[in-house]
Structure 1
């Protein structure tokens, strides 16, 4: 079981990676496609459970995306939007 501290740390890393890989829309919000995040080599090495980290960040209202569970291939086109800057 992951400790809360680890989750906070992972969520922080996730935010950095979304900023690195994402693009800013007209409203100034940064978003990245799930497929881009999933396929990124640095992300693959950073996150043991990317989907779990995404869910944790979504629960904390740090990011948002459509749906509950993101699956590689099926949801590659889903936008993951950063809610905090």
Structure 2
């Protein structure tokens, strides 16, 4: 698995599904990303890809670990477009 490629795909999906926030950054709720059919087909391990992107400062989100259902309303903010 090529992590950089997965992160590039993640950025594309956040741009597709997200909206601009007050700061002008694109953000999307975790639940929207997790429940999207296209994302489900692309990402084998969405949470792992999100963590790798966070570590590389491509995205930002509050929690260390995101769980479907519990964290559906957590904003994932795109830092690099």
Q: TM (normalized to structure 1)? A: 0.93
Aligned structure 1 segments of 4 or more residues deviating by more than 6 angstroms: none
Note the aligned Cα RMSD (angstroms): 0.6
The alignment covers a number of residue pairs equal to 81
Consecutive unaligned residues in structure 1, runs of 5 or more: none
> Which structure has the larger Rg?
1
Q: Does 1:36 align with 2:58?
A: no
Q: Residues 44-77 of structure 1, C-alpha deviation per residue, up to 9 Å, x if partnerless?
A: 0000000000000000000000010000000000
Q: TM (normalized to structure 2)? A: 0.97
Consecutive unaligned residues in structure 2, runs of 5 or more: none
